[in-house]
Amino acid sequence: MTSFRFFLSLAAAILLGALLTTGSGLNAQQPPQAADAAAPSVLPPIIDDGASSTRPEPEETAPPESSKTALDAGSGDSLELTQEQEEQLRQITKVIYEVPPTHSGGGDAEIVEIPLSLFEALSQIQNSADRLAAVESYWSLRSSIAHLNIEIHIRESAEKAAGVLEKAAIDTPDFQALMAVYRVYLSSADARIAQLRVEIREGQIDLMRKTQRSTERGWPIPSSTPWYGNYTLRSEAAQSRSFELASEAILIPEKIRAGYASGFSLGSPENLFTPEISTFERIDDGYLYLKTLENKRQAALGYVRVLESLNDSIARYVAAYSPSIDSRVFVTCLIGNEEE
């Protein structure tokens, strides 16, 4: 009897020890509590001094599984700009994205154009996929308007240069050939401007369809400026269960670098569309001016293309991170300032 009780006690001790060991193992595998884990953020850093330092946080979402770094705000990455560089890039972007005077487009009915902020454009859209499509349409139309602005400025510079050459009134074959080149260049600029006006009309119609707007309130002219500086991604977003989130977290830093290189290649904001050459002492000076002008045109158009691509990636990143986020927070995550 004593032997039986001894074995019964021994079995109970073994069972109790197994339960304690299993319980501690389960506790070790539990994920950290919400208070212990840093929630990923999709909010960009504040660039404008007037912007509020407090921004709405996105809805709580389970953090991605991996912590591999794509771009970490605290890593001291070379993507950071100095204050002078930041201001230069801001001024360049402001000049390029300035909206040119409205254009009626002809016909019996006058076309009234009204500014449309990104938040206003998305205010009537609830579905995540429809909202993303509307953002892409918005940035595409914004880029077309920037292209028109660039073409108008470049044409004005070419026309002024042609006027300077005409005043010289040199009647030589070389001079006449140079003037012919300028006339062709101006004609090409006119054709591009006309085509862009058509593309803008098409873009306005597409945007109205995707934002559920009508022409009764006027034809929309996007007023929000796309994101052009550094954009903070938490390192947890580099790899996740969502391929869309992971891919955009890798692409965005590359596009930021491309935007910096493209933007700073344009030179000073005051000299974006006017080459430094102001007089023509030789025939070759006239050709050099036109070649420099064309290079500036191509560089400015390239910058706009980079920013359109960057902002499309940011929109896809935010949409993949939290599809149920409301429109106001969504816009804040895209451009950093919901007040615009």
Instruction: Kindly report, residue by residue over 234-289, the tens digit of the pLDDT.
Output: 666 655 667 888 888 889 999 999 999 999 999 888 888 877 656 677 888 889 89
Q: Which pLDDT score, from 0 to 100, does residue 78 have? A: 54
Does pLDDT of 141 surpass 90?
yes
Reported confidence tier of residue 323, pLDDT bands at 50, 70, 90 = confident
Does pLDDT of 206 surpass 50?
yes
Q: Which pLDDT score, from 0 to 100, does residue 338 have? A: 45
CA dist 78 and 116 (Å) reads 35
191 conformational bin, left if phi > 0, alpha if psi -120 to 50, beta if neither: alpha
**Percent of the chain at pLDDT exceeding 90:** 41
Helix axes 83-96, 283-321, angle to 10 degrees: 100
Q: Which pLDDT score, from 0 to 100, does residue 243 have? A: 81
Element (H, E) at 222: strand 219-222
Does pLDDT of 212 surpass 50?
yes
CA dist 263 and 303 (Å) reads 6
Reported confidence tier of residue 233, pLDDT bands at 50, 70, 90 = confident
Among 23, 55, 3, residue whose Cα is nearest residue 334: 55
- Contact yes or no for 138/223 (Cβ under 8 A): no
CA dist 244 and 256 (Å) reads 18
Does pLDDT of 69 surpass 80?
no
CA dist 258 and 265 (Å) reads 11
Does pLDDT of 44 surpass 60?
no
Q: Which amino acid is at 92?
A: I
Q: Which two tokens stand for residue 119?
A: 């938040």
Chain length of the chain:
340
Among 320, 311, 10, residue whose Cα is nearest residue 137: 311
CA dist 340 and 336 (Å) reads 9
Q: Helices marked H in the chain — which ranges?
A: 2-29, 83-96, 118-122, 128-168, 173-211, 243-264, 283-321, 327-335
Q: Which pLDDT score, from 0 to 100, does residue 234 have? A: 66
- How many CA atoms does the CB half-sphere of 299 hold within 13 Å? 22
CA dist 219 and 90 (Å) reads 27
Least confident of 63-77, 146-160, 165-179, 181-195: 63-77
CA dist 332 and 167 (Å) reads 53
Please give the span between the terminal C-alpha atoms of the chain, in angstroms, as a whole number.
Answer: 87
Does pLDDT of 119 surpass 90?
yes
How many other C-beta atoms are found inside a 10 Å radius of the C-beta of residue 87? 13
Buried b (16+ CB within 10 A) or exposed e, 122-155: beebeeeeebbbbbbbbbbbbbbbbbbbbbbbbb
